[in-house]
Amino acid sequence: MGIEIGGRNALLPERIAQMKAKVTGDRHLRSMLNAVTKNGLEKVALNRDAVVAMRDAFSQQLPSPSVTNQMKSGRCWMFAGLNVLRRASLARLKVEEFELSQNYLTFFEKLEKANGYLDDILSTLREPKDSRLVSWLLGAPVADGGEWELFANLVLKYGVVPKWAMPETHHSNDSNRMNYVLNLKLREAGLRLREAHAAGIPLGELARRKDDVLEEIYRILAVFLGDPPSSFDFEYRDKDDTFHRDPGLSPQEFFERYVGFDFDAYANVVNVPTQDKPFGRTYVVSHLPVVRGGPSRPYLNVDIETLRALALSQLQSGDCVYFGCDVVQMMDAEAGVLDEAL
């Protein structure tokens, strides 16, 4: 049974028929339609000249171990950070290949994000539920994203372990369903805490209920990711085929003995060319996911020439550079090319 549509602002069937006729009669557009529906926009729109022109030899190039794969998760920031640490551990261990567990840090990243989210809920109890801040907090409490401060403070608090000590799981590699469950549970908990506050429940009791939620989140994470090790026996052979064994190591002890990265020797440098953020000053981002109680690592805002010079200087010193940028519109992952001409 159809409906009759009219009125000044209605999209009328005869207008849709005119649009369709133009598409049907446009041979160039039909060719694009066939190509995109079969292959996808990214492959059809790829600028092959840019791919052919790309070279993988650079004037300043550091030796690097094998590539690591974040699979279907948003943990690029964590993989990049662990690759920085991996270079330090390779030198200390005197081995050619070694990988640190991304899943181990993922477990505590999610737990710390849950703790920070619930703290933010308790600190905004007087905010209207439909305020922009509360709506944003409820949006995605434990999304996959992160940055250097979160990474550094996770490592300093929880240490690191070899990949074999806590290998990847189905849901660390493909995090959408895990994040859905965690976010659903945390949104429910946030709303219940707000309802309890509105009913006159004292803050001390709300804090206890928050702790109960965190215990439940830990249990959920253990199901999805496995239970992180408290200690392990570290055994390996170095380049000279010498066997080494270090039993009963905690993740923090492993970091100190076999990585030893000095986070305080590095600074967060960004280029944010907006009028409200003058260069030469430091900034922090409100409500950014962090390890509560960890040191703050503010961003120093500099012009792009300074940023380039600092990055080059660090590479020339033999040190790799941890960086973040928006690459989605200028990248072809299959070809391994990042170029604005793509």
Strand residues in the chain grouped as ranges (E): 232-237, 243-249, 268-270, 282-283, 299-301, 331-332, 337-338
Q: Output the pLDDT for position 51.
A: 86
pLDDT digits 0-9 by tens, 44-95: 888 888 888 888 888 888 888 888 999 999 999 999 999 999 999 999 999 9
Residues 308, 313, 319: CA angle, nearest 5 degrees: 115
d(C-alpha 271, C-alpha 304), whole Å = 6
pTM metric for this prediction: 0.89
Where in the chain are the domains? Answer: 13-38, 76-261
* Residue found by looking up tokens 């699979």 in the block: 71
pLDDT digits 0-9 by tens, 85-116: 999 999 999 999 999 999 999 999 999 999 99
* Residue found by looking up tokens 């090319």 in the block: 337
Strand 299-301's sheet: what is its strand order?
268-270, 299-301, 282-283
- Spatial contact of 99 and 69, defined as CB atoms under 8 Å apart: no
**CB burial class (10 A; 0-12, 13-18, 19+) of residue 107?**
buried
* Residue found by looking up tokens 């006729």 in the block: 21
Q: Which CATH class is domain 76-261?
A: alpha beta
pLDDT-derived band at 279 (thresholds 50, 70, 90) equals very high
Q: Output the pLDDT for position 43.
A: 86
d(C-alpha 226, C-alpha 163), whole Å = 13
Mean pLDDT computed over 182-206? 97
Please, which residues have CB within 8 angstroms of residue 75's CB and are 6 or more apart in sequence?
Answer: 102, 106, 144, 146, 175
Q: Is the pLDDT of residue 246 over 70?
A: yes
Strand residues in 19-61 grouped as ranges (E): none
